[in-house]
Amino acid sequence: MRIYLEADYAAMSRRAANLIAAEVIRRPNCVLGLATGSTPIGTYENLIARNRAGDLSFREVRTVNLDEYKGLAPTHDQSYRYFMQTNLFDHVDILPENTNVPDGLAADADAECARYDALVASLGYADLQLLGLGRNGHIGFNEPDDHFTKETHVVDLTDSTIDANARFFATRDDVPRQALTMGVGCIMAARRVLLIASGADKADALYNAVCGPISPNCPASILQLHGDVVVVGDEAALHRIVEAGVSVCR
């Protein structure tokens, strides 16, 4: 596991974008696993700028997103399909048919999960999987539990996750209570994992993910078993890890 310490959110976003861009340049038809939430927005802005400058093309790239709210249409302004369109896909030269997000409106959610698992497997899994980190240590919507779930599945969101996402909705009651999420099996099958975190509110979760025991109580801790993980965080998110004497790249 390599850990990059950046001064702030902007520097973290540039570093993450550099790593993703290098993957696309090295392998133009790569499969990118993508994440939503506030943390990757700056990373996507950097990638858009490179595409517009002619330095980076997504024409052959295929993407698979981690998750989607159950019950939200792709056109809902808080759906993750909508997020990806407005924060990345609509602004770069990626082909729409090469972008994949779980269907939150599927009549049979379990069948949709099985379909999505098969789709990701048919692509050979992600060459690079981008992950954010929840305050409770979740990755995708894999919430703290008594076991790791391997397959894409429907998950009940915890109160802490609902609280964290309530700022994006008119009221807390509007936040969906369930989501479809890629399981840890799909995430761990990625050739490389890029975990990004920003802010002091992520410091405990990041410390537990990197330095704590491997436990489903902190889903991100499973990444300790992956052979190629890169962590990029700002000083606020990484301060506990630095204080513990863990080696970081500056």
The reply to whether 138 belongs to the active site is yes
Burial 92-125 (b: 16+ CB within 10 A, else e): bebeeebbbbbbbebeebeebbeebbeebeebeb
State the average pLDDT for the chain: 97
Q: Which is catalytic among the residues 136, 142, 165, 208? A: 136
Burial 186-224 (b: 16+ CB within 10 A, else e): bbbbbbbbbbbbbbeebbbbbbbbbebeeebebbbbbbe
3-state secondary structure of 196: strand
Q: Which is catalytic among the residues 67, 68, 112, 234? A: 67
Kindly report which listed range (33-42, 165-174, 235-244) carries the lowest average pLDDT score: 165-174
Q: What is the pLDDT of residues 167-180, one digit of tens each?
A: 889 999 999 999 99
Model pLDDT, residue 131: 98
Model pLDDT, residue 165: 87
* Pairing of β 178-181 and β 153-156: antiparallel
What is the spatial distance between Cα 31 and Cα 248, in angstroms, rounded to a whole number? 28
Model pLDDT, residue 168: 87
- List the chain domain ranges: 2-232
> What residue has token string 């890029």?
194
The reply to whether 153 belongs to the active site is no
Q: How confident is the model at residue 160 (pLDDT cuts 50, 70, 90)?
A: confident
Domain 2-232 in this protein, CATH class: alpha beta
* Pairing of β 67-69 and β 99-100: unpaired
pTM of the predicted model as reported, rounded to 2 decimal places: 0.96
